[in-house]
Amino acid sequence: MMTLTEENYLKALHRLSQTEEAITVKRIALQLGIKMPTVTSMVKNLAGKKFIRYEKYKAIQLTEKGRRQALLILRKHRLTELFLKDVMGLGWEEVHDIAEQIEHIQSDRFFNRIDEMLGHPKFDPHGEPIPDADGKLPFFKAFPLSGCEAGKKYKLTGVLDHDASFLTYLNTLGLTLGSTIEVMTLHGFDRSMEVLLNGKVRTVFSFTICQHLLVI
């Protein structure tokens, strides 16, 4: 009943709702790589179906129905990613693009079976929380490495950039979820940091990289 396009809008809406800024037509257009008038018309469509609240020129909000629907799609995406990695042996850098397609498959049986095979997992290969069948998210706390202190040791629990190039770079450093990251030195001028990975590999992370690594 929902088209693939509508599902992708809901995912984008949900993602945008997780930041402080208001959800605007501009941000949706940027997120999806389409033009603003296209967004305006789809936003009217989604409002008609009660997935969002929308008034001309005002900020857009997901309704409870919309949020729920978005979380169910995220559930399918993240379960798929973990399945591709843990059952099918693909790397964390190659699962996202396939999951972007499989998340639109309509079959409770298929995804419930994946969930069972994986033992009802709580986190995907990038450390993202997997909503349960009711759309409830597991509790989790983690913060970006960019806010960490020198001299302390952290554990990698998630990545915020799913790009294959970024994750492949982490692979070359032997960095996976669970790896330790010790912050050796903090450079104020560009906010880069010298780090020791898994007690073995020494390198420098730019601020951008640090923003994309979640640790506890």
Partner DNA sequence: TAAATTTGTTAGATTAATCTAACTTTTTAA
Partner DNA sequence: TTAAAAAGTTAGATTAATCTAACAAATTTA
Which one of residues 22, 97, 150, 185 is an interface residue with its own copies (CB under 8 A)?
97
Does 87 contact its own copies by CB under 8 A? yes
Torsion of CA 25, 28, 29, 30, to 10 degrees: 120
Coil, helix or strand for 103? coil
* 68 close to 135: Cβ distance less than 8 angstroms: yes
Q: Which stretch binds its own copies (CB under 8 A): 84-92, 130-138, 141-149, 187-195?
A: 84-92
- What is the biggest distance separating any 2 CA atoms in the chain, rounded to whole angstroms? 56
For residue 85, what are the CA distances in angstroms to 94, 108, 135?
Answer: 9, 20, 23
Q: Of 22 and 201, which has the nearer Cβ to DNA?
A: 22
- Residues in 100-159 that interact with its own copies by CB under 8 A: 101-102, 105-107, 109-110, 113-114, 117
Does residue 182 belong to the site contacting its own copies (CB under 8 A)? no
Residue 197 CB, nearest distance to Mn ion (Å)?
21
Nearer to Mn ion, 130 or 195 (CB): 130
Is-contact 155 181, C-beta < 8 A?
yes
Write the CA distances from 75 to 113, 114, 131, integer angstroms. 13, 11, 5
Pick out residues in 53-72 that bind DNA (CB under 7 A). Answer: 56-57
184 in helix, strand or coil?
A: strand
Q: Which does 110 bind (CB under 5 to 8 A by kind): Mn ion, its own copies, DNA, none?
A: its own copies
Number of residues that bind its own copies (CB under 8 A): 18
Q: Which amino acid is at 195?
A: V
Residues that bind its own copies (CB under 8 A): 84, 87-90, 94, 97-98, 101-102, 105-107, 109-110, 113-114, 117
Residues that bind DNA (CB under 7 A): 3-6, 24-27, 33-45, 56-57
